[in-house]
Amino acid sequence: MKKACCGHSASPSSLEFNPKEIILHPIIHTAKVFVFIFSVSFAISFAIAQMGEEAFENLFLGSSVFQPFLVALFGLIPNCAASIAITMLYLKGAITYGSVIAGLCASGGLGLLVLFKEEKDKKDVLSILLLLFGISVSAGYVIQYIIY
């Protein structure tokens, strides 16, 4: 019989109805993921609020050639606050259009947190993360220096 993540039956053709496996397990699993995402999101939002906008403007080096790389790195933070900060910095003129595209493309939202928490093969997670980051930085540089 096929086993799922926590050792319970994962077979859809199981003849026995086990309420614990069908009802209780998904609720417990969802609660664990919720607590993890809430904790990390709270910590990130708190850190961003404490740093302030001026710190981000200095962090992204004005109109430096490294700006799309740095903003994409910041965009990897799995939180909506990072995307909002990138957008606000663009609207204030602190970062370029290519940089905002790089940062927002790199943002995988909360899916990255769940991927890191739940996936057992960390090499696959790292490959996905590097591919996401590489494509985002490349798109930012193409837009900033070739198209725009």
Looking at every residue in the chain, the average pLDDT score rounds to 80
Give DSSP secondary structure letters for 66-98.
Answer: THHHHHHHHHTSSSHHHHHHHHHHHHTTSS-HH
* pLDDT at 94 exceeding the cut of 70: yes
* Extents of the domains making up the chain: 19-147
Specify the DSSP class assigned to residue 76. T
Q: What is the pLDDT of residue 127?
A: 92
CA distance 91 to 73: 19
Q: Positive or negative, the Cα torsion across 40, 43, 44, 45? A: positive
* Per-residue model confidence (pLDDT) at position 88: 83
